[in-house]
Amino acid sequence: MKTSIPIVVSALLVATPLLANEEADDQAKARENFQQADSDSDGRLTPAEFRNFIDANAEDGLGRAGMVRRFGAYGTAFERVDKNEDGVVTALELAAARRN
Ligand SMILES: [Ca+2]
Ligand SMILES: [Ca+2]
């Protein structure tokens, strides 16, 4: 029964896209973009890292990122997301901003 685990895994991979809604898909992309933009991997985005994050999200057509990029409104977007005004943006702050 060596093959039973790979079969279960591939069945899950096939089923997942049917179960996932578009929003969950976007969130997964945004999470991936966050990790890539977070160049020092400290889980927080500096304004420079945030800019890369927005650009990546804009490429993927996520949320308002395209608009932020078009208008070069990175600073405004950063300030809006950085609720505790500590100069870095966490995944939690981004999640909170998405709900608004
Ligand atoms: Ca960082
Ligand atoms: Ca913050």
Domain spans in the chain, listed from the N-terminal domain onward = 21-99
Instruction: List the pLDDT tens digit at each of the 100 positions of the chain.
Output: 555 656 655 555 555 544 457 788 998 999 999 999 999 999 999 999 999 999 999 999 999 999 999 999 999 999 999 999 999 999 999 989 887 6
pTM: 0.76
Predicted pLDDT of residue 55: 98
CB-count burial class (<10 Å; 0-12, 13-18, 19+) for 45: buried
Q: How far apart are CA 51 and CA 77, in angstroms?
A: 10
Centre of ligand 1 from the C-alpha of residue 48, in Å: 9
As given in the structure block, the two tokens for residue 63 are 């949320």
For residue 87, which ligand has an atom nearest its CA? Answer: 2
- Decide if domain 21-99 falls under CATH 2.40.30.10: no
Q: How far apart are CA 58 and CA 85, in angstroms?
A: 24
Predicted pLDDT of residue 20: 53
Predicted pLDDT of residue 58: 98
Centre of ligand 1 from the C-alpha of residue 78, in Å: 14
Predicted pLDDT of residue 41: 97
Centre of ligand 1 from the C-alpha of residue 91, in Å: 11
Predicted pLDDT of residue 62: 94
